[in-house]
Amino acid sequence: MNTTQATRLVAAREIRVKLRDRTFLFSTLFFLLIAAAATILPPLLSGGPSSVAVTEAAAGPLRAAGLEVRTVADDRAAEQAVRDGDVDAAVVAGPAVLAMDDAPEDVVTALSTQPDVRLLDPDAVDPVVAFLVPFAFAFVFFITSQTFGVQIAQSVVEEKQTRVVEILVAAVPVRALLAGKLVAGTVLALGQIALIALVTVVGMRFADSGGLLTLLGPAIGWFVPFFLLGFVLIAAMWAAAGALVNRQEDIAGVSMPVQLAVMLPFFAVIFLNDNATAMRVLSYLPFSSPTAMPLRLFTGDAAGWEPLVSLALLLVAAAAFLVAGARVYEGSLLRTNGRTSIRAAWRSRETIG
């Protein structure tokens, strides 16, 4: 069995195990429900446009505003329609708006005379969207890398703790064992994100957010390769961290540098997303570029060549961390006599597989 075949075998085993894991399935369902609720519920709860009773002569502006118009014979019939609950509001002579207990803002707006508005920056992103989008990118990368990274580390420790790893390395190369775990984690993470993205897009279309989808398209397209390389970088660190210890209880202690490498960029992108200089720097740093660069593309602050350079830097960094993580993994995988230091694992790399 060559290394490629062994890697496929290990990856297939890891994926099968995870797809039978109820925790993974429930977490995926939970995220899907959140995505659906965040995009579908707001338009449903808004109640839609008001229905208005009005005489035919005054119906024009209301129809133009997209309101549901019901024509009546006179003002008395319009008022009665409101009292009977047949419509939300009525427009009578004056003009005056009649409603039972709450002023219908959309009706008032439709009847108001508004001045012409000229936008000096028509392509500017809405402030609320400008906050939510970076939070969404950073949150997805943070949660996914943490969740699947911890699972990779736990899988490595479990194999060491039960001594199953001694059987595995006798059958497959050590690097194939590591590569299989990373491939499985990456496939599962991308699959989960793809499902969440699909539900989100469908929900946004349901909510008639086509304009926002057009703006998000390029950013999402770039987010996929950035996420892929960034996840491989973090996953290699988690696998190496898991190989350094022999008990599940020790993972938290040895993985603190990995957690900081994920948490600090997360908060940096969230709190500095309106700082152009800071975001430019963050978009080239390997641990923050998976979220910072797609965000700059969304806001239009990045030139066409910048994501290519940033992606190339991330590729080099991911390859370097992958090689270093593999060396630490090989040097500590078969050490079962307590916690192994990174220095010891680096120096006494196991010559197996």
Q: Report the C-alpha gap between 14 and 332 in whole angstroms.
A: 21
Q: Report the C-alpha gap between 307 and 313 in whole angstroms.
A: 10
Please report which helix (H) or strand (E) contains residue 337, including its range: none
* pLDDT given for residue 311 in this prediction: 93
Q: Which of 36-50, 100-114, 271-285 has the highest mean pLDDT?
A: 271-285
> Cis before residue 95, ω within 30 degrees of 0?
yes
The residue written with tokens 């580390």 in the block is 153
The residue written with tokens 């993974």 in the block is 24
* pLDDT given for residue 1 in this prediction: 65
Q: Which of 48-57, 167-176, 265-274 has the highest mean pLDDT?
A: 265-274
The one-letter amino acid code at 148 reads: F
Q: What is the pLDDT of residues 44-72, one digit of tens each?
A: 555 555 576 666 666 666 666 666 677 77
Per the prediction, the chain carries an average pLDDT of 77
pLDDT at 10 over 60: yes
Q: Which two tokens stand for residue 221?
A: 């397209």
Q: What is the pTM of this model?
A: 0.70
For range 18-42, the mean pLDDT? 78
For range 141-147, the mean pLDDT? 84
Domain locations along the chain: 3-42+125-347, 51-103
For range 117-121, the mean pLDDT? 51
Q: Which two tokens stand for residue 28?
A: 């995926």
Q: Band of the pLDDT at 308, cuts 50, 70, 90?
A: very high
Task: Give me the sign of the Cα torsion angle 132, 137, 140, 143.
Answer: negative
Which among 323, 341, 137 is positioned nearest to 233, based on CA atoms? 323
The three-state secondary structure class of 202 is helix
* pLDDT given for residue 61 in this prediction: 67
Please report the DSSP string for 319-335 in residue order: HHHHHHHHHHHHHHTT-
Q: What is the pLDDT of residues 239-258, one digit of tens each?
A: 888 888 887 777 888 888 88
Q: Report the C-alpha gap between 215 and 238 in whole angstroms.
A: 34
Backbone angles phi, psi at 237, to 5 degrees: -65, -40
Q: Report the C-alpha gap between 60 and 304 in whole angstroms.
A: 47
Pairing of strands 96-98, 89-92: antiparallel
* pLDDT given for residue 8 in this prediction: 85
